[in-house]
Chain A
Amino acid sequence: MNLELRKIEIKDVVFGEETGLKEGVLTVCKQDIIDELMEDVNVKSIKVDIAKPGEKTRIIPVKDVIQPRIKVEGKGNGFPGVTSEMVQLGSGKVNVLDGVAVVTIGDIVGFQEGVIDMWGEGAKWTPFSKTLNIVVDIEPVDGLDPHTHEATVRVAGLKAAELIGKAGKEAEASIVDKYEMDDIFTETGKYPDLPKVAYVEMLISQGLLHDGYIYGVNSQKILPTLIHPNEELDGAVISGNCVAACDKITTYQHQNNSAILDLYKRHGKDINFVGVILTPELTTLEGKFRTCDYTAKLCRTLGVDGVVVSEEGYGNPDSDLLMICKRLEDSGIKTVLITDECSGWDGMSQPLADTTPEAVAVVSTGNVSHVVELEPADKVIGSAEAIATLAGGWEGCLQEDGSMVCELNAVIGATSEIGYHNLTVELY
């Protein structure tokens, strides 16, 4: 497959009469977005706002983050299987509005949505304080059942990103990243002496607000599956979940999966990157045995020498992570795990819910219960009070002056287990 991600540097985002792009400034027509999203009978109202890096703005409760793009050569605009017709992804040329993100907010469906601070202390903890955020506030019609509510806001966010992405159609890219990888046999012929490496990306698959989707298929319904890295970079995998905000993989992070990108950088130089295995995290013991055995089997079938495994969420999926690790190491496959940890407010508790001696190489992306203090914002997009009910917040954690104390749990992308952010844990 041959994919070009053509990055168009966006310097600023403004509202205007017509959505378009000129000299690095993206103009967004609010009404266009409202009209498009109001076509869904389940949407009652839409509000659109902008939050820029450095502004004293807080966005809460955040559901998903999506990168606006448009495919300018080849098939597969939008998100095939979800918002557009099914096509094979992974090839072609894509114009990316680099530096812009669509951020969806709205009524809380569950407890797992999060916060983005665009400035100060809070900005350090989330990767999405550095993007120009177009915030879409989605209010559903009254009486919608929770499952439909979740699907409505999920799809609305994707559609908004698709619409905004169209502004980049004619634009010139400042950076063109090329991702080229042939079938495994050809690549191995080219690099016979390099160690073969697969990436296992675990996806939370547990029900409402806890599912990933692959070409629109709920990951709950699949056996672990092999996918070309280009397919994920091209939008085949989206987030349908709000696991604790700190370690959910947002759609933006699937589109720019850091583990895939960092493995790609070494492909043909230090390693032979053979592919991505998407593995559902199921809740039943039988399901865990099936998916972990199957994942290890796929890795053995590919004949890999090493694997990077990333988790999504924490708690019972810790078992899946370590079961996969044990099976791989027992097969002689060198394995590196990426996970976050639940060490408590004081950092003194054991970090994982399970343990195995085979897990000798683990990257920690932070303690989800690490407590941070966030200053009062000049402007809150959404509802500041939502923090009291979110995972990572509690009743009374929002102070009268608008400052708040919360766990990293509530901060979008803080402890990203695909290693998208730069936190780690040190033992003292």
Chain B
Amino acid sequence: MSYKVLYYVNQFFGQVGGEDKAGMAPVMKDEKVGPALGFDQLMGEEAEVVGTIICGDNYFNENNEEAVKFIIDAVSEKNPDLVVAGPAFNAGRYGMACAGVAKVVADELNIPVITGMYGENPGLEIARTKSLVVETNDSAAGMKDALAKMADLAKKMLKGEKLGYPEDEGYFAQGKRLTVFSDKRGSERAVEMLLARFKGEEFKSELPMPVFDRVAPAAAIKDLSKAKIALVTTGGIVPNGNPDRIQSASAQKWGKYNIAGKDSLEGEFYTIHGGYDPVYANELPDRVAPLDMLRKFQKEGLIGEVYEYFYTTTGTGTSVGNAITFGKEIGKELKEAGVDAAILTST
């Protein structure tokens, strides 16, 4: 069986023109244009390029919404097994366009994407998480080599074969941390790593240190006595019975519960958090999510009001990816509700 491949190139590699044509709207050609031709030959009997999308780099980046819609429609119509974009080498706008194609095709259509870029291409950051990005030269002089590597990996991907390590296969790591079996237990690997360090031999850390993003704090509230304050916790405080079935570790969701008219969470709430001693939180859930104190401050006039919903999830073992999603969703709701500040408690 021969697989179907759809190709994406810019105006230059699509042989329409140079910078003067960078504003061209996308078109769909049923033939193989530019690198699509070379790629098709390299795939031999195993796959066929069934069409080439050509789009101006400026158009893609400046009319992103229209470009994305065109891509979705065109890819849906051709229904390929794989989408190939570029290679973009070190061309920034082309790289961003290839990354944009990778993002929409992977996220919306769930079809695999291969592209190629130079290590400094600004499109790499997004593209590597959405597609397989082959490491290329910084200019089109590296076309032959890039296409050969892309075709090799495309064959493996289409056949569902396991890919080798990024450094061996010549693609950029996608950032996916995959749990696998080792031929040695962890403690033995640790001792060997220490001995290598003593001897000054090369060793490879199995966990390169993560890089954290920083969130700039919001501006201070000028008049707390008029502020609407929301209560948010990662301490797993939920209504008795855990109606929304929030997980006790590695949360996949968050909940919000009405606390209007309540002076405390006592008696009606408890914790489902699997990472700390629940006894004291269950006695008085306000120890984790301090509604009682907020009410006291409200009565004293220190704060204006307490937002009528409180938001909750479990922090323990919850991936940063999920936490970012929860934070954005909860933040959006709070913003829309006119909340001025949130008390966010952990455990």
Contacts and interface: CB of A to CB of B under 8 A. Distances in A.
Nearest to B181: A422
Contact of B186 (A261, A351, A365, A394): A365
Interface in A134-149: 145-147
A160 interface: no
A421 interface: yes
A356 B322 CA distance: 23
A60 interface: no
Contact of A347 (B165, B176, B248): B176
A197 B205 CA distance: 19
A212 interface: no
Contacts of B212: 350, 355
B247 interface: yes
Contacts of B173: 427-428
Contact of B194 (A336, A365, A391, A424): A336
Contact of B321 (A110, A206, A283, A349): A349
B252 interface: yes
Nearest to A356: B209
A113 B141 CA distance: 59
Contact of B245 (A261, A394, A409): A394
A428 B210 contact: no
A54 B266 CA distance: 48
Contact of B166 (A259, A418, A427): A427
B252 to A, nearest CB: 7
Given A111-B249, A334-B198, A341-B207, A369 B181 contact: no
Contact of A423 (B182, B203, B277): B182
Contacts of B209: 352, 355-357, 359, 362
Given A258-B187, A347-B176, A427-B177, A390 B198 contact: no
Contacts of A370: 179
A370 B181 CA distance: 12
B182 A422 contact: yes
A17 interface: no
A427 B176 contact: yes
B248 A111 contact: yes
A366 interface: yes
B185 A348 contact: no
Interface string A201-219: 0000011111000000000
Given A111-B249, A210-B277, A270-B195, A423 B181 contact: yes
A368 B250 contact: yes
B190 interface: yes
Contacts of A14: none
B312 to A, nearest CB: 16
Nearest to B163: A428
A424 B277 contact: no
Contact of A363 (B193, B210, B252, B316): B193
A364 interface: yes
Contacts of A346: 176, 321
A336 B211 contact: no
Contacts of A360: 205
Nearest to B174: A428
Given A334-B198, A346-B321, A394 B252 contact: yes
Interface string A370-407: 10000000000000000001111111100000000001
A342 interface: yes
A364 to B, nearest CB: 4
A419 interface: yes
A310 B188 CA distance: 12
B161 to A, nearest CB: 13
B23 interface: no
B203 to A, nearest CB: 6
B130 to A, nearest CB: 11
A76 B190 CA distance: 31
Interface in B208-224: 208-212
A239 interface: no
Interface centre among B173, B187, B279 (most CB of A within 10 A): B187
B1 interface: no
A280 to B, nearest CB: 15
Contacts of B184: 422
Interface string B231-264: 0000000000000010111101000000000000
A419 B189 CA distance: 8
A419 B317 contact: no
B254 to A, nearest CB: 14
B134 to A, nearest CB: 14
Contact of A392 (B193, B245, B250, B322): B250
Contacts of B318: 342
A365 B185 CA distance: 9
Contacts of A210: 276-277
Interface string B123-145: 00000010000000000000000
A408 B317 CA distance: 11
A266 interface: yes
Given A350-B210, A368-B250, 7 more contacts: A306-B198, A308-B194, A336-B193, A336-B197, A343-B177, A344-B319, A422-B183
Interface of B: 129, 163, 165-166, 173-191, 193-195, 197-198, 203, 205-212, 245, 247-250, 252, 272-279, 315-322
19 contacts: A110-B274, A146-B279, A244-B317, A261-B187, A336-B190, A336-B193, A342-B250, A343-B177, A348-B129, A361-B194, A362-B209, A363-B189, A364-B206, A392-B250, A418-B186, A422-B184, A423-B181, A427-B173, A428-B165
Interface of A: 110-112, 124, 145-147, 195, 197, 206-210, 244, 258-259, 261-263, 265-266, 270-271, 283, 305-306, 308, 310, 313-315, 334, 336-339, 341-352, 355-357, 359-370, 389-396, 407-409, 416-428
Ordered nearest first, which 7 A-B pairs have the shortest CB separation?
A419-B186, A344-B319, A419-B187, A207-B277, A391-B249, A111-B274, A350-B210
